[in-house]
Amino acid sequence: MESMFGHHISAQYNEELEDLRNRVLNMGGLVEQQIADAVTALVEGDGERCEQVINRDVNVNSMEVEIDEECTRILARRQPAAGDLRLIVAIIKTITDLERIGDQAEKVARIGLHLMEMERPKNRYMEIYNLGEHVRHMMHHTLDVFARLDPEAALQVTREDKNIDNEYEGVMRQMVTYIMEDPRTIRRSLDIMWSLRALERIGDHSKNICEYVIYLVNGKDVRHLSLEQMENAVRSRSGRKGQ
């Protein structure tokens, strides 16, 4: 972190960058809590908590706007180049994905309100709880990657997205089977499937943030690359630094 946030002659500039970093992490902490609360509210049928998640989404949106405006001011005032410019770009992209994660958490909460009107299944929405826990842990690790600016850790979190995708696809196949066996469950099953889709999208956005960290630290755009290509890009860069 020292090399990225404490290397300018201007102490004020260092403070501005450090403040940006802290604000992104604060936004990420709120979003992580939104995920946890949305999943818990749906699984437990807690309408009050669902409403709280929905109402707090405006706070997530406000944080995105405020951080984006500060990035714009720094771009205009400091005219950053090289690593500093990559930092600002990465932050702008990161907060966009955090805001979208917040939207997905809100969606889960809204579906939770809808599901309260229906009979609860025997498994008490365990498929949503399990995927939700997996996604929340991935989000937590993603914020740690951003805090430490660790490309190797970013790769590890990116691998988790594949596991989440596999879990999501398996559960979706089960839901289709339930619908075929008992068409009376169609309404509830569709809501469950929409909530699972929202959670799977959170994994995708978390992966995006890890890719921005790799771009920020290594100067390599790894979007749309396979996992193997990403690993080669990170490790070849690390190898050059060690020479």
User: What are the residue boundaries of the structural domains of the chain, listed by start?
Assistant: 2-241
64: which residues sit within 8 A by CB, 6+ positions away? 27, 95, 96, 98, 99
Residue 215 CB burial class (10 angstroms; 0-12, 13-18, ≥19): buried
CA distance 21 to 17: 6
Which CATH number is associated with domain 2-241?
1.20.58.220
- The answer to whether 59 and 30 are in contact (CB under 8 A) is yes
Q: What is the pTM of this model?
A: 0.90
Residue 42 CB burial class (10 angstroms; 0-12, 13-18, ≥19): buried
pLDDT in tens, the chain (243 residues): 444 555 665 778 888 999 999 999 999 999 999 999 999 999 999 999 999 999 999 999 999 999 999 999 999 998 888 888 999 999 999 999 999 999 999 999 999 999 999 988 888 899 999 999 999 999 999 999 999 999 999 999 999 999 999 999 999 999 999 899 988 889 999 999 999 999 999 999 999 999 999 999 988 888 877 777 787 878 776 555 544
Query: Nearest-CA neighbor of 99 among 42, 157, 34?
Result: 34
